[in-house]
Amino acid sequence: MRAARTLAVAATAFAAVGLAAPLAAATNGPSSVTVGSSVVQRGGDDSNSVTVTPFAVHQGSTLTITVRGCSGGTVSSAAFPTTTLSANSNNVSSAVVRIHNNATLGQHTLTVHCNNSNRVLTQQFRVLAGQGSQGGIGGSLAPSSTEMAVGGSLVAAAALGGGLFIARRRRIGAAV
């Protein structure tokens, strides 16, 4: 009896994992591109440098740009709208830009025009295919129909397994 019960529980667990596996393995784009979130700097003596984080960014995601030796100005690229750099007292400016959803994939160059000089600084970054993660949205997105189907089937399997366990337990208790 115990072996049959253990086998039933194990089969139910394997079925639940098996139904959830396709959803876990699903991707939204190519998985052959692996790029770390490295920081790339440009400028020889680090007094006038442009830093982009991350170097490789997905379409629709944000890119942080930090410029040393520049007290305000603008940053522009074909991959995002022209944005004003915010300056602080340390002669460091920064901006956070959102990459266009339909930005061309591959290498892009951003251009920084500083307010305090005629200096123009450039920096490259890479745009990757697909949308970035939607972390931090706080539940404002509803689950997809696939997620609802998988969740519903797991709940139904658990209810069926629990009902069979209780019915079988009742029969064993009545026979004693």
Check whether the bond before 81 is cis (ω within 30° of 0): no
Length of the chain counted residue by residue: 176
100 φψ region: left (φ > 0), alpha (ψ -120 to 50), beta (else): beta
Mean pLDDT by 10 residues, the chain (176 residues): 74 74 53 37 52 86 86 87 84 87 88 81 86 57 80 90 84 62
User: Cβ contacts of residue 118 below 8 Å, gap of 6+?
Assistant: none
Q: Are 161 and 9 in contact (CB under 8 A)?
A: yes
pLDDT number for residue 157:
92
CA distance 167 to 176: 15
pLDDT number for residue 176:
54
